[in-house]
Amino acid sequence: MHYCLYLVSSVVFKMNDEPDVSLIIPVYNVEKYLRKALVSVENQTFKDFKVIIVNDGSTDGSYDIIEEFTSRNSNFLVINQPNRGVGAARNAGIKASRSKYISFMDSDDFLEPDFLKKMYVTALKYDSDIVCCNFNFYYPKINTKVCWPFMAVPGVYSSDIALKKITSCISMLSFAWNKFFKRELFVKNGIEFFDMYYEDSATSPRLFYFARKIVTLSDVLYNYVMHDSSITHCMDADKINDFIKSLGILRNFYEKHGIYRKFRRRMRAYSQRLSLLNYYNVFAMHLRSANFAGFLQNISAVKKSIKYFASDDYSPYDDDFSVDLPLRIKEPKEF
């Protein structure tokens, strides 16, 4: 017999005998990859954990696959909700969880067998608030894994040092899925994922700020699947806008907590890389549509928005959720 959780308004049904660990998996129309993802969860060497699958209004065969796994695994639970995006799905999973630790997995990725065991043992050993592992980019067309080469040196970091690294966005990245969190970081500090693309970039640094201790592992425990529908392969105007907006949210948060000047040099270096990356994203978007109408206007919008979020003239918003771009990138057909 399997359990099914339904989230109705703000009512969450609490499960008894909560394990220390919950793995939260948002699912939306990923039937091609979902079975491999859930098999990798079934095959974890660590067994005392709960899986919270948030079916975010899937219209393909994803829910049938979810039912297959929940029917044979009593620790697999499902929340059904209308499609609201990955941020809202993760938030629903956090609210449904009562575990001490939570981790996130994208439903088209897969885990190494020791992912949960090594992350949990490390969290207990160091009483850490966040544990980060290394990861592979997996290319299914050629069945090849490529390990991320710039991971931070394994060790125990204070919030201040870890924030410097995640702000630089090289040796510590903002992805939610290669991390292990104390759930109280979200609950006590009122942190939720934003309703946007690149919600990780806007959320993880806030969690690092409130953490006391962050541990990094050299172990490669997570596999990020690079396929044609991955966010990095199908950049459009909305995704580019949200990518830049994540910089604004980070700046706003640092300003509100009086720490921006401490990280200003790293923020500016990151904003320069973000500019170059999004110049490319704009070019690729126009090239893909075979329409270069408005190309220079979009390049100018990228430049001006990022420059504003990195400038000394920036005026903080009252709350991070209100942050918006001075100029928005448009689809070529809108010109």
Q: Would you say 23 and 109 are in contact if contact means Cβ atoms under 8 Å apart? A: no
Per domain, the residue ranges of the chain are 3-231, 235-334
pLDDT tier, 321 (very low <50, low <70, confident <90, very high otherwise): confident
| Phi and psi based region of residue 294 (left: phi greater than 0; alpha: psi -120 to 50; beta: remaining) | left
For the stretch 240-275, pLDDT in tens is: 999 999 999 999 999 999 999 999 999 999 999 999
| Spatial CB neighbours of 167, under 8 Å, sequence gap ≥ 6 | 205, 250, 263, 266, 267, 270
Q: Would you say 116 and 232 are in contact if contact means Cβ atoms under 8 Å apart? A: no
Per-residue pLDDT at 6 exceeds 70: no
Position 234 scores a pLDDT of 79
More confident residue, 330 or 319: 330
Single pTM value for the model: 0.91
Per-residue pLDDT at 11 exceeds 90: no
Which CATH topology does 3-231 take? Answer: Spore Coat Polysaccharide Biosynthesis Protein SpsA; Chain A (3.90.550)
Could you tell me which of 32, 41, 53, 147 has the C-alpha nearest to residue 97?
53
Mean pLDDT calculated for residue range 316-322: 87
Per-residue pLDDT at 3 exceeds 80: no
Please give the DSSP secondary-structure letter assigned to residue 327: S
Compute the radius of gyration of the chain from its Cα atoms.
20
CA distance 32 to 163: 36
Question: Structure tokens of 206?
Answer: 């806030």
pLDDT tier, 208 (very low <50, low <70, confident <90, very high otherwise): very high
Position 233 scores a pLDDT of 63
Helix and strand totals (H; E) in the chain: 10, 11
State what percent of residues in the chain have pLDDT above 70. 94
pLDDT tier, 49 (very low <50, low <70, confident <90, very high otherwise): very high
